[in-house]
């Protein structure tokens, strides 16, 4: 039995658009973008931005590439008015950028708005009044006709003030606020009345913004409403159809994407989804979603860390660590299988001839948005051997062979299980050094020399290599001189003879760390003992033969420790 009082809610009405076409559409071009960070985003902040903070944020938006920026509600406060005037009087608005200002459909507010934009080369006056059934019946207690009268009167005044200004750079936008709560036929009637009053035409377009002021349905229903509207609006070429989605149901990005598929020309939204209640549609997410499909987003988000810094400084808001594309953890994998897949995918991408990004678990290349690979794999108790190996290779050039990865993975796992904490790359490296390179008990090699018993040291088909070693063991110091078919074989023979431990080399690998002439060599070894134990070791030296011998000592020490 459900304890939730779900019966008090009614389902949102569907459109009944049987021949809808938007599901078969794809987005092949970026829409017209309009940032509402400085208006809708700002009015949602616990502490609104100061004039100087808004200027800094405006400059950020310009640098990203926005050509339409809603800068405020200048008739609402002295701060808002002063900010718009500062932009204009200090020539901070590029010639190809239109500032957008919001006003209710009230005479004194519209007049004050025109005072604010005086001298602006390009400006959009955004007029709105609420048209929804709830607002008409509960808030205003007005009829449909009275609401239309408000919209038309405001439009008339905007047209008259534009004509009086003599500024052809002033454009007009109208929003039937709470479009999602407005009957479709009635919303169309309101917009037609506004278009008639404005004199909308192909050369004098009106922006009709159909906002999801409150998100009330699944995105497909909103898309149906947009397609229906596009079909029924008269003089479609006289209209730029805009949408402004809020995120009350958590689907604002999907709502906006489907709206574009359904015919919308323009998208309003905010960086990181800032805005009233659950926020606005996140333009960063939608733009980068387009990019991952091979579509030019026509906005530059190649330095997300810088954008986040400015955003947080100006708004005093933080970006969630799991925020798509932008969060601190979105290019990070803790799961072992994910880590292994990412590591292999990165290497495959480096070898790929076509350059097309195709890496598991990463829909976008972090470098394309100003991030890097260093933080992609993070190690905790959920991590696997592949991810641990990836960290050491990426950060320190240590390429642990696959047969040794489970051994070191168990070492790391013991620490993360015991502490419950994440390990940094530096801590993982320290663990490797301590477990393998720094193992000095019970065996310590004090001195080791390699020589050959004939004139051809490269021969390996006979016992011709001599290893002389001075060692410290459980019983004290000892020395030996042993022959083998190579340094490894000779050292193993000497240690078996003098310690009584029966073992042989089961696996071996080596490589240089770095590419310079003074690069160090690292060797990895796995020894098999007569009690069927398999133990790994590693050694580092400027001489690869000595690195190999050190790896044997490392494995012997780990065997005795076990």
Residue 187 lies in a domain: yes
User: How many angstroms separate the CA atoms of 418 and 380, rounded?
Assistant: 11
Domain boundary among 380, 404, 437: 437
Domain boundary among 286, 315, 344: 315
Whether residues 383 and 515 fall in one domain = no
40 is in an annotated binding site: yes
How confident is the model over 4-60, as pLDDT tens digits? 898 899 999 999 998 999 999 999 999 999 999 999 999 999 999 999 999 999 999
DSSP state of 50: P
Residue 3 lies in a domain: no
- Give the per-residue pLDDT at 460: 53
Whether residues 272 and 403 fall in one domain = no
Both ends of the chain: CA-CA distance in Å? 56
Give the pairing of strands 32-35 and 68-72: parallel
Whether residues 112 and 257 fall in one domain = yes
Helices then strands, each counted (H, E), the chain: 17, 14
Name the phi and psi angles at 390, rounded to 5: -60, -45
Taking residues 551-556, what's their average pLDDT? Answer: 96
Residue 300 lies in a domain: yes
- Give the per-residue pLDDT at 382: 60
Residue 229 lies in a domain: yes
Whether residues 425 and 448 fall in one domain = no
Residue 283 lies in a domain: yes
246 is in an annotated binding site: yes
Label residues 314-348 b or e (16+ Cβ within 10 Å = b). Answer: bbebebeeebbbbbeebbbbbebebbbbbbebbee
Res. 457: pLDDT tops 60: no
CATH code for the domain of 496: 3.30.160.270
Residue 15 lies in a domain: no
Whether residues 308 and 425 fall in one domain = no
Domain count, the chain: 3
- Give the per-residue pLDDT at 331: 85
How confident is the model over 181-221, as pLDDT tens digits? 999 999 999 999 999 999 999 999 999 999 999 999 999 99
Whether residues 427 and 458 fall in one domain = no
Q: How confident is the model at residue 105 (pLDDT cuts 50, 70, 90)?
A: very high
Res. 376: pLDDT tops 90: no
Across 44-48, 257-261, 513-517, 520-524, least confident range: 513-517
How many residues appear in the chain?
562
CATH code for the domain of 365: 1.10.287.1400
User: How many angstroms separate the CA atoms of 453 and 406, rounded?
Assistant: 39
Which tokens belong to 68? 């339409």
Question: Closest Cα to residue 47, out of 319, 326, 271, 313?
Answer: 313
Q: Which residues span the domain enclosing 186?
A: 32-315
How confident is the model over 379-425, as pLDDT tens digits? 665 666 777 887 888 889 999 999 999 999 899 989 988 888 888 88
Whether residues 298 and 171 fall in one domain = yes
- Give the per-residue pLDDT at 375: 46
Over the Cα atoms of the chain, what is R_g? Answer: 35
Whether residues 288 and 383 fall in one domain = no
CATH code for the domain of 172: 3.20.20.70
Whether residues 226 and 160 fall in one domain = yes
Res. 244: pLDDT tops 70: yes
Whether residues 240 and 384 fall in one domain = no
Across 77-91, 241-255, 526-540, least confident range: 526-540
Whether residues 450 and 426 fall in one domain = no
Residue 4 lies in a domain: no
Burial of 39: CB neighbours in 10 Å, binned 0-12, 13-18, 19+ = buried
Domain boundary among 282, 315, 348: 315
Q: How confident is the model at residue 155 (pLDDT cuts 50, 70, 90)?
A: very high
192 is in an annotated binding site: no
User: How many angstroms separate the CA atoms of 27 and 292, rounded?
Assistant: 12
User: How many angstroms separate the CA atoms of 41 and 310, rounded?
Assistant: 14
167 is in an annotated binding site: no
Beta-strand (E) ranges in 131-276?
170-177, 206-209, 239-244, 266-269
Residue 205 lies in a domain: yes
Whether residues 134 and 264 fall in one domain = yes
Question: What crossing angle do the helices spanning 144-165 and 184-198 adopt, rounded to 10°?
Answer: 30
Res. 377: pLDDT tops 80: no
Res. 374: pLDDT tops 70: no
- Give the per-residue pLDDT at 344: 86
């Amino acid at each position: 039995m459900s304890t939730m009082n779900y019966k008090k809610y009614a389902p949102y009405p569907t459109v009944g658009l049987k021949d809808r076409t938007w599901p078969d559409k794809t987005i092949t071009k970026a829409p017209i973008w309009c940032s509402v960070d400085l208006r809708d985003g700002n009015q949602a902040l616990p502490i609104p931005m100061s004039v100087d903070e808004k200027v800094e944020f405006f400059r950020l938006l310009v640098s990203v590439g926005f050509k339409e920026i809603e800068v405020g509600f200048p008739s609402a406060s002295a701060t808002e008015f002063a900010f718009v005037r500062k932009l204009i009087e200090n020539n901070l608005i590029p010639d190809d950028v239109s500032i957008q200002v919001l006003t209710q459909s009230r005479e004194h507010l519209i007049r004050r708005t025109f005072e604010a934009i005086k001298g602006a080369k390009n400006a959009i006056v955004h007029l709105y009044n609420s048209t929804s059934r709830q607002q008409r019946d509960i808030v205003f207690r007005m009829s449909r006709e009275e609401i239309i009268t408000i919209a038309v009167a405001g439009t008339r005044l905007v047209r008259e003030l534009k004509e009086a200004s003599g500024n052809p750079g002033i454009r007009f936008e109208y929003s039937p606020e709470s479009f999602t709560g407005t009957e479709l036929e009635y919303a169309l009637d309101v917009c037609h009345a506004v278009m008639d009053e404005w004199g909308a035409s192909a050369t004098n377009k009106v922006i009709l913004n159909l906002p999801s002021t409150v998100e009330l349905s699944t995105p497909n229903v909103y898309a149906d409403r947009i397609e229906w509207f596009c079909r029924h609006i008269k003089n479609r070429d006289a209209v730029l159809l805009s949408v402004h989605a809020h995120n009350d149901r958590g689907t604002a990005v999907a709502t906006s994407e489907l709206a574009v598929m359904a015919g919308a020309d323009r998208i309003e939204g905010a960086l990181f989804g800032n805005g009233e209640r659950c926020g606005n549609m996140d333009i960063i997410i939608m733009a980068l979603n387009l990019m991952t499909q091979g579509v030019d987003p026509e906005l530059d988000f190649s330095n997300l860390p810088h954008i986040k810094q400015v955003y947080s400084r100006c708004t005093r808001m933080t970006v969630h660590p799991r925020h798509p594309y932008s969060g601190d953890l979105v290019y990070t994998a803790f799961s072992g299988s994910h880590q292994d897949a990412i590591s292999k995918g990165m290497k495959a991408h480096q070898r790929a001839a076509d350059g097309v990004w195709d890496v598991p678990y990463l829909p976008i290349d972090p470098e394309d948005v100003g991030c890097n690979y260093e933080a992609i794999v993070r190690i905790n108790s959920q991590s696997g051997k592949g991810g641990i190996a990836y960290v050491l290779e990426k950060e320190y050039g240590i390429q642990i062979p696959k047969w040794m990865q489970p051994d070191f993975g168990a070492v790391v796992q013991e620490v993360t299980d015991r502490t419950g904490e994440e390990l940094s790359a530096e801590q993982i490296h320290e663990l490797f050094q301590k477990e393998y390179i720094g193992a000095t008990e019970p065996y310590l090699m004090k001195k080791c020399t390699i020589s050959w018993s004939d004139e051809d040291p490269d021969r390996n088909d006979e016992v011709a290599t001599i290893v002389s070693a001075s060692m410290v063991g459980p019983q004290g110091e000892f020395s030996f001189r042993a022959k083998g078919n190579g340094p490894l074989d000779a050292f193993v023979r000497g240690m078996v003879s003098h310690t009584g431990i029966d073992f042989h080399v089961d696996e071996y690998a080596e490589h240089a760390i770095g590419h310079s002439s003074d690069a160090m060599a690292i060797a990895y070894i796995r020894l098999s003992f007569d009690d069927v134990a398999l133990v790994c070791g590693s050694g580092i030296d400027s001489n690869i033969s000595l690195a190999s011998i050190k790896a044997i000592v490392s494995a012997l020490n780990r065997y005795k420790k076990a």
